[in-house]
Amino acid sequence: MPRPSPPCTARRKVGAPSSYDEDVDALEPTVLWRLFHPGGRHARAVLLPGDPLTLTFFVDHVMDRAERFDAIDIALFRADEVKRSLMTEGWKDDE
């Protein structure tokens, strides 16, 4: 039985240039995106507050990697870059 996802704050804005906006809670993790694969797998990107910021990627509730960034715009760009890469491999938005 898979472990439940930790509680996170999701912030999305309709019509924004990416799947999330730049309003990130300074005290709470923020889920930037969630994807699923037709084979049943799930992935998500989570931005953790702090200085520096930590961008984490989870696949099937297991952390795949964590990357640190000094600026939020670079972290958000990296998250979008990974999302685009996964979507070219058949992953879909999980909304």
Considering only 10-19, 26-35, 53-62, 70-79, which range has the smallest mean pLDDT? 10-19
Q: What pairs with residue 62 in β-bridges?
A: 59
Confidence band of 81 (pLDDT split at 50, 70, 90): very high
The Cα–Cα gap between 53 and 25 comes to: 12
Q: Residue 86: which domain range?
A: 9-93
Confidence band of 94 (pLDDT split at 50, 70, 90): confident
Mention every residue, 6+ apart, whose C-beta is less than 8 A from residue 88: none
1 within some domain = no
The Cα–Cα gap between 37 and 6 comes to: 20
Q: Rounded to two decimals, what is the model's pTM?
A: 0.74
Task: Report the domain count for the chain.
Answer: 1
> How many helices (H) and strands (E) in the chain?
1, 6
CA distances from 27 to 8, 47, 51 (A): 11, 11, 12
2 within some domain = no
13 within some domain = yes
14 within some domain = yes
